[in-house]
Amino acid sequence: MDYPKEWINYTREELLAILSKNLSKKRYQHILRVEEEALKLADYYHADCAEVSLAALLHDYAKERSDAEYLHYIDEHPQFAMLRPYGNNIWHGMIGALFAKKELGLNNPNVVRAIQLHTVGGKQMTQLDKIIFIADYIEPNRHFEGVDEARKLAYTNLNQAVSYALSHTLIYLIQRGYPIFPMTLDAYNHWVGRIGDE
């Protein structure tokens, strides 16, 4: 697949080479599965395959960076200070997308945004945002309880799938005593009980 030059100056093959060189095998294979799942959803919901592919390939681009690198970035960019307590779970999407922008010349705002929202969701989510969020949640190597229901919902009603994923992620996090990032809560409040609204 070729991406428009205005979005990024690499072909899909070139990006794959960069990712496989810089990420663990486990992460690289997860990314390929997310792309495959996301492209199925793109086909099913008639989304732009090039945007979906690019966002899927780059969604965990910076997941394996050190905490020190993220903390340094946060120190240099005070507008991100509120991310500081939440750790890599939140940093790798919200800030990782900006690393992809800077380091790879990624220049498609829809894709940057889908990467930023892929872990936490949002009150407003485009179809691309939803596809990446859900593909990451249901890729074939996910085995948690409820994943089959999420897979079924993904191909019946994308909004219901988002709602389902957000509630189950919150339950999971709260059971373990993890802090909830405010955007995750906002997304939950928006999507749960608003099924079919948009």
The yes or no reply on residue 136 touching ligand GDP (CB under 6 A) is yes
Residue closer to ligand GDP by CB (options 147, 180) is 180
Total of residues contacting ligand GDP (CB under 6 A): 19
Whole-angstrom distance, CA of residue 105 vs CA of residue 179: 32
From the list Fe ion, ligand GDP, none, partner contacted by residue 173 (C-beta under 5 to 8 A by kind): ligand GDP
The yes or no reply on residue 169 touching ligand GDP (CB under 6 A) is yes
Q: Which range of residues in 8-16, 47-55, 59-67, 181-189 is near Fe ion by CB under 5 A? A: 59-67
127 to 156: interface string for Fe ion, x by CB under 5 A: ---------x--------------------
The yes or no reply on residue 37 touching Fe ion (CB under 5 A) is no
The yes or no reply on residue 116 touching ligand GDP (CB under 6 A) is no
The yes or no reply on residue 60 touching ligand GDP (CB under 6 A) is yes
The yes or no reply on residue 60 touching Fe ion (CB under 5 A) is yes
- Give the DSSP letter string of the chain: ----TTT-SS-HHHHHHHHHHHS-HHHHHHHHHHHHHHHHHHHHHT--HHHHHHHHHHTTTTTTS-HHHHHHHHHH-GGGGGGGGG-HHHHHHHTHHHHHHHHH----HHHHHHHHHTTT--SS--HHHHHHHHHHHH-TT--STTHHHHHHHHTT-HHHHHHHHHHHHHHHHHHTTPPPPHHHHHHHHHHTT-TT--
- What residue has token string 């890729």? 139
Residue closer to Fe ion by CB (options 47, 90) is 90
Which one of residues 91, 164, 181, 188 is an interface residue with ligand GDP (CB under 6 A)? Answer: 181
The yes or no reply on residue 119 touching ligand GDP (CB under 6 A) is yes
